[in-house]
């Protein structure tokens, strides 16, 4: 039986947004981008897909365990209509390649339309992604603006894409990790339920670096 979230009303194609990230930690920049991409691209759902091993970041810095990052995303989206935390990459294990995630979702729901949400900064990295031509055949990109990055104007022929204007929030996980280490406030930059989880589980503190 199909999970409820693929419910197809009156034969209409279901439009699924896939928003991948390390989410180390998730912040309101991600969440505002997700809900506004959902509205702007008329998506039915946005799956917040937590990377198991983000191969781009591997070896560069310590990344919190995937289970903790997933718990933060779950806390952050709890009660928010249409946003779901997804552990699909954690279940698969190993390095997380978006193409594998998209193929898995496509196999489960072949009739659904898949949209891959990315910030303008990530649009520059697409050429380095694994099996990028296959990916381009399977998804429409939804590119959201992000302070500090102007999306490339030479995305190439291969992508179908649309752009969605989202609130410009100059927030990054990198800055939040620095804030946590230095004891500066996280409040209002991360949903309070996720901050509670960070405190209870002693994540991102000085001893965590
Ligand atoms: P880090 O600083 O560790 O790279 P990050 O804040 O960039 O963290 P990621 O998990 O790397 O967060 O990003 C996941 C996705 O969210 C990417 O597509 C990224 O472009 C997008 N994103 C992150 N922050 C914002 C923001 N403030 N506004 C719009 N998009 C964002
Ligand atoms: Mg990033």
In a domain? residue 186: no
How far is residue 150 from each of residues 30, 34, 123, 147, 184, measured CA to CA in Å?
Answer: 17, 18, 9, 8, 29
Q: Is residue 200 included in any domain, yes or no?
A: no
Q: Would you say residue 191 lies in a domain? A: no
Task: For residue 24, give the nearest of 154, 208, 182 by alpha carbon.
Answer: 208
Partnered with residue 163 across adjacent β-strands are 143
Please identify every stretch of the chain with a pLDDT value under 70, giving residue numbers as ranges. Answer: 1-12, 207-209
Largest Cα–Cα distance of the chain, in whole Å? 53
Q: Give the model's pLDDT for residue 25.
A: 98
* Binding site membership of 121 for ligand 1 (Cβ less than 6 Å): yes
Say if 31 falls within a structural domain.
yes
Q: How far is the CA of 119 from the centre of ligand 1 (A)?
A: 7
Segment 63-115, tens digit of pLDDT: 999 999 999 999 999 999 999 999 999 999 999 999 999 999 999 999 999 99
Q: Residue 105: inside a domain, yes or no?
A: yes
Number of domains in the chain: 1
- Ligand closest to Cα of 141 equals 1
Residue 47: inside a domain: yes
The rounded Å distance from CA 7 to ligand 2 centre is 32
* CA–CA gap between residue 142 and residue 113 (Å, rounded): 12
Say which CATH number the domain at 102 has.
3.40.50.620
pLDDT of residue 11: 62
Q: What is the pLDDT of residue 55?
A: 85
Among the atoms of ligand 1, which is closest to the Cα of residue 174?
2
Ligand 1 atom nearest the C-alpha of 149 is 20
- pLDDT at residue number 8: 52
Residue 188 lies in a domain: no
**Residue 55 located in a structural domain:** yes
Residue 24 domain boundaries: 15-169
30 lines ligand 1 (CB under 6 A): yes
Give dist(CA 116, CA 46) in Å, integer. Answer: 9
Residue 21 beta carbon below 6 angstroms from any ligand 1 atom = yes
173 lines ligand 1 (CB under 6 A): yes
Bridge partners for 161 per DSSP: 141
| Of residues 119, 126, 21, the one with CA closest to residue 76 | 21
């Amino acid at each position: 039986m199909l999970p409820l979230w693929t419910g197809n009303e009156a034969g209409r194609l279901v439009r699924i947004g896939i928003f991948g990230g390390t989410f180390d930690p998730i912040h309101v920049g991600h969440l505002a981008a997700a809900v506004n991409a959902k509205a702007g691209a008329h998506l039915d759902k946005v799956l917040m897909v937590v990377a198991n091993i983000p191969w781009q970041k591997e070896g560069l810095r310590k990344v919190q365990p995937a289970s903790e990052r997933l718990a933060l995303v779950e806390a952050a989206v709890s009660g928010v209509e249409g946003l779901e935390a997804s552990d699909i990459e954690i279940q698969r294990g190993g390095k997380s390649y978006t193409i594998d995630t998209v193929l898995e979702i496509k196999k489960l729901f072949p009739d659904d339309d898949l949209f891959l949400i990315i910030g303008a900064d990530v649009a520059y990295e697409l050429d380095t992604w694994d099996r990028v031509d296959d990916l381009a055949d399977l998804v429409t990109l939804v590119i959201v603006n992000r302070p500090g990055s102007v999306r490339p104007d030479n995305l190439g022929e291969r992508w179908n894409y649309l752009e969605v204007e989202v609130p410009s929030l100059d927030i990054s996980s990198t800055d939040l990790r620095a804030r946590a280490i230095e004891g500066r406030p996280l409040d209002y930059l991360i949903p309070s339920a996720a901050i509670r989880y960070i405190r209870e589980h002693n994540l991102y503190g000085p001893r965590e670096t």
